[in-house]
């Protein structure tokens, strides 16, 4: 969960903020109703209110959203902002919005609930003919040097050699995962090929759970490639755009997909990459075809997991409740508005075996369930 400092760092990205501020200024008219989806601490809400909105619905599950009540007062717009501390899925609004503003991206727009929540919000909150910002994000891929990042990843376990312990499995696991380049920023001089559009996410029409595309890349200069960089160009509103290309110090950073081994390349070499990711941005696969053959990499090949855990993900699996699930169900059933948190914790504690280490944290467990599922 983001902290107030994190939200401050998002607001401190001048290119991102300038693009959103200009788009809000253009889209919000005096008297508009606005939804700030994923409001964080509500900077966009304040800008929308200042642009003339008569009502801004700031929707955000993070309790940090309550800072907005103070920020709105400081900025003289409290009377026009309504805070909904919840995910958008749990909110019903009394009116439709003329403008929805959101930035639910992470490193890329394929991040957690971004695509699902924005789609749902457009359907349920936006008036017909209303404006939803951003309009689209174009995802771009290129071959990159990324030497320092790659060595940092690939050699992260090698100090075990000194103790006579090998770690080939850890290396394979690490190199089958995507990374932010935040610790080792990819510079524009690291880009070794042309940059190609992998896919364009048009928020008005995107309706898929998987993104897949193949790009043919041509090497522009000789070097040693260590992976691919993926970034995006955002169209917030018509001509108001920004990108997160290598070399740009954006809050989002770039996604680095490492190779299993460094790949020397010469000017004019051609290669093909097929990229697949789920809409949440958690599962990735990248197949690289060069004149030397094809290499398949995927988070599936790298994530340590138990066979039972994989089985539980299967659509055909018939689950039963774990002991934790049973406790949560019992707790939920007892939340009838009569029992206090302390009562619930006492009951829970009494029902656990005397030797259970969970007895000591019964109150914490109740609080966790309450903060997640209760009013
Ligand atoms: C990248 S932050 C942006 C915050 C703020 N709009 C800004 O620009 O400073 C995205 C926020 O969206 C929130 N979020 C994610 N999914 C959400 C959903 N379904 N409904 C409401 N908020 C959501 C997250 O908690 C997070 O605070």
pLDDT digits (tens, 9 = 90+) for 104-125: 999 999 999 999 999 999 999 9
pLDDT at 334 over 90: yes
**Which three-class secondary structure string do you get for 226-285?**
EEEEEEEEEEEECCEEEECCCCCCCCCCCEEEEEEEEEEECCCCEEEEEEEEECCCCCEE
Please state, in angstroms and as integers, the Cα–Cα distance from residue 123 to each residue in 97, 100, 131, following that order: 11, 11, 12
Spell out which residues line ligand 1, taking CB within 6 angstroms: 2, 7, 10-11, 37-40, 43-44, 59-62, 87-89, 103-104, 112-113, 117
Cβ–Cβ under 8 Å, residues 300 and 254:
no
- Strands 55-59 vs 33-37: parallel, antiparallel or unpaired: parallel
CA gap 93, 36 in Å, rounded: 12
* Ligand 1: centre distance to CA 78 (Å): 20
On the 0-12 / 13-18 / 19+ scale of CB atoms within 10 A, 47 is: buried
* Ligand 1: centre distance to CA 1 (Å): 10
* Ligand 1: centre distance to CA 200 (Å): 21
Residues 9, 11, 16, 18, CA torsion sign: negative
* Ligand 1: centre distance to CA 130 (Å): 21
* Ligand 1: centre distance to CA 306 (Å): 32
Quote the tokens at residue 206.
């995107």
In this structure, which residue's CA is closest to atom 24 in ligand 1?
38
Query: How confident is residue 1, by pLDDT bands cut at 50, 70 and 90?
Result: very high
pLDDT at 10 over 90: yes
Q: Ligand 1, residues 3, 19, 35, 38: which to mutate, most atoms within 8 A of Cβ?
A: 38
Q: Ligand 1, residues 14, 36, 60, 101: which to mutate, most atoms within 8 A of Cβ?
A: 60
Query: How confident is residue 231, by pLDDT bands cut at 50, 70 and 90?
Result: very high
**Which three-class secondary structure string do you get for 188-233?**
HHHECECCEEEEEEECCCCCCCEEEEEEEEEECCCEEEEEEEEEEE
Residues 190, 196, 198, 200, CA torsion sign: positive
Identify the pLDDT of residue 325: 96
Task: Estimate the share of the chain in helix, then strand, then coil, as percent rounded to the nearest 5.
Answer: 35, 30, 35
Identify the pLDDT of residue 131: 98
Quote the tokens at residue 33.
């109703």
CA gap 149, 182 in Å, rounded: 10
| Over residues 167-177, mean pLDDT | 95
Identify the pLDDT of residue 32: 98
Query: Can you give the pTM of this predicted structure?
Result: 0.91
| Over residues 261-284, mean pLDDT | 97
- Give the number of the atom of ligand 1 that is nearest the alpha carbon of residue 1: 25
Q: Is 265 or 248 the better-scoring residue by pLDDT?
A: 265
Please state, in angstroms and as integers, the Cα–Cα distance from residue 307 to each residue in 318, 321, 322, 344, 373, following that order: 15, 18, 17, 35, 30
Please provide residue 190's backbone torsions phi and psi, each rounded to the nearest 5 degrees: -80, -15
Which conformational region is residue 31 in: left (phi greater than 0), alpha (psi within -120 to 50 degrees), or beta?
left
Across the chain, what does the average pLDDT equal? 96
Cβ–Cβ under 8 Å, residues 163 and 236:
no
Consecutive H or E run containing 84: strand 81-84
With a pLDDT cut of 90, the percent of the chain lying above it is 94
SS3 164: coil
Identify the pLDDT of residue 249: 87
Query: How confident is residue 147, by pLDDT bands cut at 50, 70 and 90?
Result: very high
Helices (H) and strands (E) in the chain, counts: 12, 15
Which tens digits make up the pLDDT trace of 181-211?
A: 999 999 999 999 999 999 999 999 998 899 9
With a pLDDT cut of 70, the percent of the chain lying above it is 100
Quote the tokens at residue 309.
């855990």
């Amino acid at each position: 969960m983001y902290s107030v400092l994190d939200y401050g760092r998002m607001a401190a990205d001048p290119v991102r903020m300038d693009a959103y501020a200009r788009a809000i200024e253009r889209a919000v008219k005096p008297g508009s109703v606005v939804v700030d989806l994923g409001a964080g601490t509500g900077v966009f809400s304040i800008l929308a209110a200042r642009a003339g909105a008569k009502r801004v619905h700031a929707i955000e599950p993070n309790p940090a959203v309550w800072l907005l009540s103070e920020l709105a007062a400081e900025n003289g717009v409290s009377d026009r902002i309504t805070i909904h501390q919840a995910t958008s899925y749990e909110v019903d609004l009394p009116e439709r919005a003329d403008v929805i503003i959101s930035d639910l991206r992470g490193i890329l727009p394929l991040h957690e609930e971004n695509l699902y929540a924005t789609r749902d919000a457009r359907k349920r909150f936006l008036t017909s003919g209303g404006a939803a910002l951003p309009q689209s994000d174009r995802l771009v891929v290129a071959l990159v040097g990324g030497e320092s990042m790659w060595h940092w990843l690939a050699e992260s376990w090698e100090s075990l050699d000194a103790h006579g312990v090998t770690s080939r499995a850890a290396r394979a696991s690490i190199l089958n995962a995507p990374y932010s380049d935040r610790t080792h920023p990819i510079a524009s001089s690291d880009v070794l090929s042309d940059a190609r559009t992998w896919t364009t996410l048009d928020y008005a029409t995107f309706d898929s759970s998987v993104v897949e595309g193949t790009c043919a890349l041509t090497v522009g200069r000789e070097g040693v490639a260590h992976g691919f960089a993926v970034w995006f160009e955002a169209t917030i509103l018509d001509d108001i755009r920004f990108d997160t290309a290598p070399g740009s110090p954006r809050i989002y950073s770039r996604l680095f997909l490492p190779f299993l081994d460094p790949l020397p390349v010469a000017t004019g070499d051609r290669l093909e990459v097929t990229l697949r990711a789920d809409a949440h941005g958690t599962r990735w696969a990248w197949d690289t075809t060069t004149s030397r053959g094809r290499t398949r990499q995927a988070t599936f090949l790298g994530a340590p997991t138990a066979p039972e855990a994989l089985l539980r993900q299967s659509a055909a699996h018939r689950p039963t409740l774990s002991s934790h699930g049973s406790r949560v169900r019992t707790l939920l059933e007892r939340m009838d508005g009569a029992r206090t948190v302390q009562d619930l914790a006492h009951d829970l504690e009494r029902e656990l075996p005397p030797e259970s280490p969970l007895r000591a944290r019964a109150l914490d467990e109740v609080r966790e369930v309450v903060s997640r599922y209760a009013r």
